[in-house]
Amino acid sequence: MYFTPMNILIRLPNWLGDMVMSTAFVQAVKNEYPHAAIDLVAKKGIDFLLDYFPAHEKRFIFSKEEYKGISGAWNFGKMISSQKKYDIFFCLPDSFSSAIMGRAIAARQRVGFKKELRSVFLTNSYTKQKDLHRVEEYVDLLKQFAKKEISVPAVKLQLPAAEKTNAVIININSEAVSRRLPKEKAISIIASVRNKITNDIILVGSNKEAAFVEEVFNALPDKTNISSKAGKTSLPQLMQLFATSAAVLTTDSGPAHVANALGVQTIVLFGAGNENNTAPYNKNNRTIIRLGQLNCEPCVSNTCKLYGVPQCLVRLDENIIVQAVTDVLK
């Protein structure tokens, strides 16, 4: 008997950390529809992650510079529909434009969360459940659509096995000022870790973060076995660096999710973000450190409106941070 496989297209989230967390959703869809052909849409700039995603067939890379605004999203969807017809379109971003894209793709069923008047473009729109972790939130969309219980897979990036080093990677950066370590605090934490361990320490950061990391590096009182690769690695190279490291000490940021999804021991310093919703998901290789003494925690704001400099990070106990690092290195 001839069987025509179902075609499913998944529009992935737009941020690095969210995209990493969506690997669980992709795997859940694969588990629920084992005979389906699954294709993915990713934003240009973080599309390199697709090489480490659960197996899929076709990928479409969406550039907001090339396809601008609502009309651009529509035209991108039309481009996809001219190449392939889909039975189901899962829309993980909450944006209006992503729902427009789904309508242009003209999948028989277009599935997403209710927000920004998007329901008119979706055939199946659902209310977000409160107080779910982002990973569980994504999988809950599939649960509501399938009308059944679905287990939540691990968040996993699949990288070939590589020989481990003794390096401890430190990331002091974040897109949001309220989640980035202030300069003096970063210097103090790195120096405290340096005083306690003999491992190599590698500072990392993107091109635009390199100047800040260099400032911190130059101000360190002892640079023994400390190096900076900020601005000197591509994102795939950063992944390889994480994968071969002994541990990663990081702010609440995209790289935290990458390290955790690679199975590396990941210590995350939380400031403004809410760890109950957006912490790296895999608990077996994750340590969360939060001050937990301020009434404003967590504020989930990108800037510290109360203090200017985020006191939730400034007041973190360095002894606790150092102990967490030494514990995971045992």
Cα–Cα distance, 112 to 121 (Å, whole number): 10
Class for the domain spanning 7-146: alpha beta
In the chain, which ranges are E strands?
Answer: 7-11, 37-43, 59-62, 88-91, 109-113, 124-126, 168-171, 201-204, 226-228, 247-251, 266-270, 286-290
Do 7-146 and 168-329 show the same overall fold? yes
CATH 3.40.50.300 fits 168-329, yes or no: no
What are the sequence ranges of the domains in the chain? 7-146, 168-329
Cα–Cα distance, 294 to 122 (Å, whole number): 41
Structure-token match 């993915």, residue found: 40
pLDDT at 156: 97
pLDDT at 1: 41
pLDDT at 3: 53
Residues of the chain with pLDDT under 50: 1-2
* pTM exceeding 0.85: yes
